[in-house]
Chains A and B, each alone.
Chain A
Amino acid sequence: MSNVKKVPSEHIAITAERGGLKLDDAKATRISNAISPAVANFSCPSLKLPMPEEPSGWAQRAFGGVRR
């Protein structure tokens, strides 16, 4: 955890409030600690068009037998 770049708690408080949830400093800090590893460990390739699949991957999973 110590190497993970933290999502600033003040940013989390603002994002949550946009969603209708008011957070105090302690809660915002707790959420920052909880979600920062996921945010830090994940990146998505750049979007290129046309896309090979539906974004969610649903169609690919649904018809997965086609793709081998």
Chain B
Amino acid sequence: MREAMLALLAKEPAHGYELRQRLALALGVVGEVLNPGQVYVTLSRLEGAGLVRGVQVAQSAAPDKKVYEVTAAGRDVVAAWLLDSSWPKVAPVEFHLKLVAAAGTGLADPVALIDAQRRELLRRLREVQRLIESHPAGDEDDGVLLLEGSALRLQADIRWLEAYEQRWTGRTR
């Protein structure tokens, strides 16, 4: 979530509440379970790490608000995150936000991100399948079932990327 928030701020500075709204918009129905406190905690950690800078803005009818903008170091973190294809366990939501952030910030092409991610997952699938093939057919080794589970999950993830590909190629053309 840390990098996704940074990426949304890289598009344009925002105060805490705006950022929360932007994040909820990007997540759609999943945004309903977003913990508001997490946004403010993460923002102060990002500020502490020097990745965002908070600027107090005076308001006439309300208390001052703090608007956050991304620093150069923060921008570097966003760029590295967009191009990272390691596909951790929380991949679905994170990848979704990555595409939204890529399109919003112009720091990467969403279709290129989808292609890169699909290549990475297909390479991984090939490796898992080679491990399966190294067992004779009908092998009762329980480890094979574990490998087959992994192959099926990768297959599902790759199919899911294809759905994104169709959506995003339609948008950019």
Chain A partners chain B: no
